[in-house]
């Protein structure tokens, strides 16, 4: 079983919701990202997404855009992100997913990317501009490297698409909470809840809700509809304003809220 699936399944068996935390590699610098990842893992994150900065992140809102721009301006590269992942893996067994855009992987070479990042300790890749129609580009190389290629469903996904996407799902199914980009906002989870229900008919992989979840209360609310929640912008924002301890506190508070009875 995939490392990502296993982690979320173990939690599920214990009646707990999974918590997936996103951080941008190189924001505000690689050493701080490393410290923040370790803090998030200790505070109860089940999976950490490492964002490899790309110049044109079309699926990201202002917070993560800014983090990527700042990291790039400070000289962050894909090679440095790879090194960061090695350093993380040397210190923790927390499941890891790399989140980046198609061009970053294409430029590196899909096979080389999966081999190198797989060897460094990545368990999955999340590519928000690679819809089902284009997954051929990475599906084989991911399979060979035993890396989960995370699939997305959105509130706009049709029944046919949900069935086709779910069939390809591995690791976990990334369910986009809202039409829009990443970033904290008030949400109506009903449309994605309907989509999740449909997806569960086709796939047994755990489902995770992401986009827009900004607080422990919001995490708890979103978790009602899924096996796990994904939190990105709020954590990156907290890292910028309060540093590594701020991340530890936020992740810890989310963990606590998710573990509270009735979730």
Partner 1 sequence: MADKRGRFGGYGGQFVPETVMPALTELEDFYNEVKSDPEFQAEYASYLAEYAGRPTLLYYAKNLTEHYGRGRIYLKREDLLHTGAHKINNALGQALLARRMGKRRIVAETGAGQHGVACATVAALFGLECRVFMGKEDMERQALNVFRMRLLGTEVVPVTSGSGTLKDATSEALRYWVTNVRDTHYIIGSVVGPHPYPMIVRDFQAVIGQEVRKQIRTLQGAKLRYIVACVGGGSNAMGIFHPFKDDHEVKKIGVEAAGKGVDTGEHAASLSNGRPGVLHGAFSYLLQNNDGQVIEAYSISAGLDYPGVGPEHAAFKDSGVAEYVTVTDGEALAAFKRLAQIEGIIPALESSHAVAYLEKLMPLTTKDEAVVICLSGRGDKDVQAVAKVMEGL
Q: Does 111 interact with partner 1 (rule: CB under 8 A)?
A: no
Helices 30-42 and 78-91 cross at an angle (nearest 10°) of 40
Residue 4 and residue 31 in contact, taking contact as beta carbons nearer than 8 Å:
no
Site for partner 1 in 65-104 (CB under 8 A): 65-66, 69, 72, 77-79, 101-104
Residue 223 and residue 259 in contact, taking contact as beta carbons nearer than 8 Å:
no
Return the residue of 44, 51, 121, 128 that touches partner 1, per CB under 8 A. 128
Residues in the interface with partner 1 (CB under 8 A) total: 42
Q: Does 209 interact with partner 1 (rule: CB under 8 A)?
A: no
* Minimum distance from residue 24 beta carbon to partner 1 (Å): 14
* Minimum distance from residue 98 beta carbon to partner 1 (Å): 14
Q: Which of 60, 116, 237, 257 is the catalytic position? A: 60
In the structure encoding, which two tokens stand for residue 72, read together?
A: 């790039």
Q: How far is Cα 83 from Cα 87, in angstroms, rounded to an integer?
A: 6
Q: Does 159 interact with partner 1 (rule: CB under 8 A)?
A: no
C-beta closer to partner 1: residue 180 or 252 = 180
H-only helix segments in the chain: 3-13, 30-42, 62-73, 78-91, 102-108, 110-120, 136-144, 159-168, 190-200, 216-223, 233-259
Return the residue of 74, 91, 179, 245 that touches partner 1, per CB under 8 A. 179
State yes or no: is 237 an active-site residue.
no
Q: Does 169 interact with partner 1 (rule: CB under 8 A)?
A: no
* Minimum distance from residue 122 beta carbon to partner 1 (Å): 17
Q: How far is Cα 232 from Cα 78, in angstroms, rounded to an integer?
A: 20
Concatenate the DSSP letters of all residues of 57-111 into one string: -TT--HHHHHHHHHHHHTT--HHHHHHHHHHHHHH----EEEE--HHHHHHH-HH
C-beta closer to partner 1: residue 9 or 182 = 182
Return the residue of 26, 155, 216, 232 that touches partner 1, per CB under 8 A. 155
Helices 233-259 and 30-42 cross at an angle (nearest 10°) of 10
State yes or no: is 227 an active-site residue.
no
User: How far does Cα 112 stand from its chain's mean position?
Assistant: 22
Report residue 22: phi and psi, to 5°. -105, 135
Span near partner 1 by CB under 8 A; candidates 32-40, 48-56, 226-234, 249-257 = 48-56
* Minimum distance from residue 15 beta carbon to partner 1 (Å): 30
Q: Which residues are catalytic?
A: 49, 60
Which residues contact partner 1 (rule: CB under 8 A)? 54-59, 61-62, 65-66, 69, 72, 77-79, 101-104, 106-108, 128-134, 152-158, 161, 165, 176, 179-181
């Amino acid at each position: 079983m995939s490392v990502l699936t296993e982690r979320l399944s173990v939690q599920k068996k214990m009646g707990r919701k999974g918590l997936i935390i996103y951080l941008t590699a190189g924001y505000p610098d690689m050493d701080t990202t490393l410290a923040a990842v370790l803090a998030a893992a200790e505070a109860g994150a089940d999976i950490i997404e490492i964002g490899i900065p790309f110049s044109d992140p079309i699926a990201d809102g202002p917070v993560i855009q800014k983090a990527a721009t700042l990291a790039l301006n400070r000289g962050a590269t894909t090679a440095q992100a790879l090194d960061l992942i090695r350093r993380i893996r040397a210190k923790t067994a927390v499941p890891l997913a790399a989140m980046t855009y198609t061009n970053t992987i294409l430029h590196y070479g899909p096979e080389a990317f999966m081999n190198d990042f797989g060897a460094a300790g990545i368990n999955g890749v999340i590519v928000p501009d690679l819809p089902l129609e284009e997954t051929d580009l990475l599906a084989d190389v991911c399979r060979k490297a035993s890396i989960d290629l995370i699939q997305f469903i959105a509130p706009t996904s049709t029944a046919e698409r949900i069935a086709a996407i779910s069939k390809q799902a591995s690791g976990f199914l990334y369910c986009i909470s809202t039409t829009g980009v990443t970033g904290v906002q008030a949400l109506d989870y009903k449309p994605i809840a309907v989509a999740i229900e449909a997806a569960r008919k086709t796939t047994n992989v755990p489902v995770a809700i992401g986009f827009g979840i900004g607080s422990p209360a919001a995490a708890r609310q979103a978790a009602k509809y899924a096996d796990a929640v994904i939190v990105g912008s709020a954590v990156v924002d907290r890292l910028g304003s309060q540093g590594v301890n701020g991340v530890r506190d936020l992740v810890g508070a989310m963990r606590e809220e998710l573990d509270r009875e009735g979730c």
